[in-house]
Chains A and B, each alone.
Chain A
Amino acid sequence: MQIFVQTRGAARAADYCFLGRAPHSPWWRRYRDHTTFDYPTIIVHSDGTDWQAYLSGIPSARVDAVGTVVRYTVVLEGGCGDAETDANNRALALIAAWLADIGTGTAGGAVQAALDREFPGPVVEWLLTEEPEVGWPETRRRALAALESVPTADPAAETGPPSWFGNVRAPGPRAEFVHRTAGLLAGTAGRALFLNLISSPDDAAALAEDDLPAAILAEDVRGISTDRVAELNPKKAPVPPRSNHQVATRQTSLLVRWLAALVAGVRRWFP
């Protein structure tokens, strides 16, 4: 399993960047219209063989030059299946813990505590200036140590439909989300998303149009009010209007059929 940590230093010039090394591609940006990455976000993807997870908006105990709370972003990437069970269980624990912190509005929750323990201010300032050959292994070692200290998750049985929408403040949908995430890491293709700009079933339905089923949680929810998840039915794609070429083809076809009928009539009356 690969693990990447993004944060910033206290100095104005020390803006947000990944410590040591960055993920191969910023794959999470496809959700840029559905979430503000500066605020709490969870994105988990699996194609059945490999999985990726993006957790952002995690507060730290540190502040920057103007007094803003500095945040962490953690990106995890791994393989699905039994061979990766231990590492995947650690990843699941982190995702479940961050989801619980978000859902219960817990400032300084388990995830912040674990990361702050391994990434105190002086260590972050050092890693920001260190060469990747040194900074990357050290970041990875510390991040894995942080994962070790997060309590393991115990996913309940999932009962929801393939694609659903739920309220992150409610324990039921959160439990469904953790179970879905466990399935993704074990090898089920799909997505589990907590996106902070989603606020209605319509917003979520647009996301469900993707090929992969999606379990979607949102904070500012309108349209659902219970502790249960609501099934999402992807909207059917509208039928595209006919092009000029299609219109011309149809006219030619009608003309040919009209001429054929005319010829048949002439033959019938003048055999």
Chain B
Amino acid sequence: MTNDSELVFRIGLVGPSRVGKTSLITAVLRDSQRLLQGTPVAIKAVGSPTEKRIAQHRRDLDGSLLAGEFSPGALRGTEEPFTFQLLLDPGVPGAGIRLELLDYPGGWVDSSKRPHDRDADWEQCKRFLVQSSVLMIPVDATVLMEPTASAHLRAVPSILTTPEVSEVVREWLKERNWRAAEPALLLICPVKCESYFHDNGGRRDESDNLLEMVRRTYADMIEGVPEEAPHVKVVYCPVDTIGCVEIIHVEWTPDPREPSGMAFSAHYGVRWPGRQNVKGAAEVLMALCRHLVAARRKVELEDAEGKELKASQAQAYADKDEGLFRNMWYHINGERKRRAAAAAARTQDAIDAQKRVTALTEIIADLAERDPGSRVHQW
């Protein structure tokens, strides 16, 4: 169930078809639940549609892993847009932060490939993306790390739709420039990173190479941030969306159907015991929390000050003497009682608001103390 007093933050995702946007969303939820165990803060799916969609995705993935093999093909692509609703709940009623993440067919990012009948849908998605204070860019790490020839490297921007993604980011930055007082966060999230880190069961550590490849591939975008919207933070958060898989081999095949003329596919083996072990998604949440909770605290402080002022005004209004006859009439028709009740309610609102501010202060302190880990990098 949602609560009208919850703050809603929109988080946009921009990436090509089949990059793993849905997998990233479910990984963030799964890893964050683990991170927040034992704290008064929880993260959960809100509403039946989000709960059931996440369950469907998990069933597909778990079934594939149980079979002892993993193919990215076990996870379905997205045909219709859907907004996932997550709640970051500090345990204080009404003090939650609702996160809305828009999932949509990644092929829509490329205007030359987008069907005309989807133009209106894409405009709606773009409005959501531009209004989001957080923008996540999922990047297929295997596409960046597995080229072995110059022809493969030439195909990378086309496979990752880097120019199209950069264009959406540019529009988002322009909007952020107009809203310079609002905190804003650009999260670059390489996904399918299991084979390039050795902190989650992997055999090799190529984390520096991955960071460098991301920096080179998205150089224009990253370097454009200080010029377009200097207050936007750019954070690099690589994620193992599955955790227990390892690349066995990859194929680069000439394919005239691909815009780059080159098709790429990766084949994975499952590491024993074949259970999903997400890594790095909690760091995404921590970056989000620092951004979102700080923004919420700012809003709540303003709200609390406003409510205290209203409460004192309401009390004065309730006690106001308006003459014998009018006061008697107010007593007869219950107006005096209503005014007193309104004053009491507003005073209670002020106390509740203050409690929420206090609770969130503790959460901010808790999250601030956590080490984001060696994977995370801020540009």
Chain A contact residues, CB within 8 Å of chain B: 6, 8-18, 21-22, 26, 29, 32-34, 36-39, 56, 63-69, 71, 73, 125, 196-197, 199, 203, 251, 255
B18/A65 in contact, CB under 8 A: yes
Contact of B73 among A15, A16, A22, A67 (CB under 8 A): A67
**Pairwise interchain contact B263-A65, C-beta atoms closer than 8 A:** yes
Interface of B toward A, CB cutoff 8 Å: 16-18, 47-49, 52-53, 56, 71-80, 82, 105-108, 110, 113, 115, 117-118, 121, 158-159, 161, 255, 257-259, 263-266, 333
Residues of A close to B71: CB separation below 8 A:
66-67
| Residue in contact with B77 in the complex, picked from A11, A15, A18, A73, CB distance below 8 Å | A15
**Residue on B nearest A200 in the bound complex, by CB:** B48
The contact of B258 among A13, A56, A69, A196, by CB within 8 Å, is A13
Taking CB atoms, residues of chain A closer than 8 Å to B115 are: 17-18, 22
CB distance from B76 to the nearest CB of A (A): 5
Q: A64-B18, A65-B263 are in contact. Are A34 and B257 (CB under 8 A)?
A: no
Chain A positions within 8 Å of B52 at CB level: 36, 197, 199
Bound complex: CA A156 to CA B248 (Å):
53
User: Given A33-B49, A199-B52, does the pair A11, B79 have CB atoms closer than 8 Å?
Assistant: no
**In the assembled complex, which residues on chain A have CB atoms less than 8 Å from the CB atom of B72?**
66-68
Check A12/B79 contact, CB under 8 A, given A33-B49, A64-B18. no
B56 adjacent to A39 (CB under 8 Å)? yes
Contact A11 B263, beta carbon cutoff 8 Å: yes
30 pairs of residues in contact across A and B, judged by CB atoms under 8 Å = A8-B77, A11-B259, A12-B18, A13-B113, A13-B258, A15-B105, A16-B79, A16-B105, A17-B117, A17-B118, A22-B115, A22-B117, A26-B80, A32-B80, A33-B47, A34-B49, A38-B79, A39-B76, A56-B79, A64-B18, A64-B77, A67-B71, A68-B18, A68-B72, A68-B75, A68-B76, A69-B73, A197-B52, A197-B53, A251-B333
Cα-based distance from A255 to B332 in the complex (angstroms):
10
| A150–chain B nearest beta-carbon distance, Å | 23
Residue of B76, B80, B82, B113 touching A14 (CB-CB under 8 A): B113
Q: How far is the CA of A69 from the CA of B80 in the complex (A)?
A: 17
Q: A16-B107, A32-B82, A37-B80 are in contact. Are A63 and B73 (CB under 8 A)?
A: yes
Rounded to whole angstroms, the CA-CA distance of A68 and B64 in the bound complex is 12
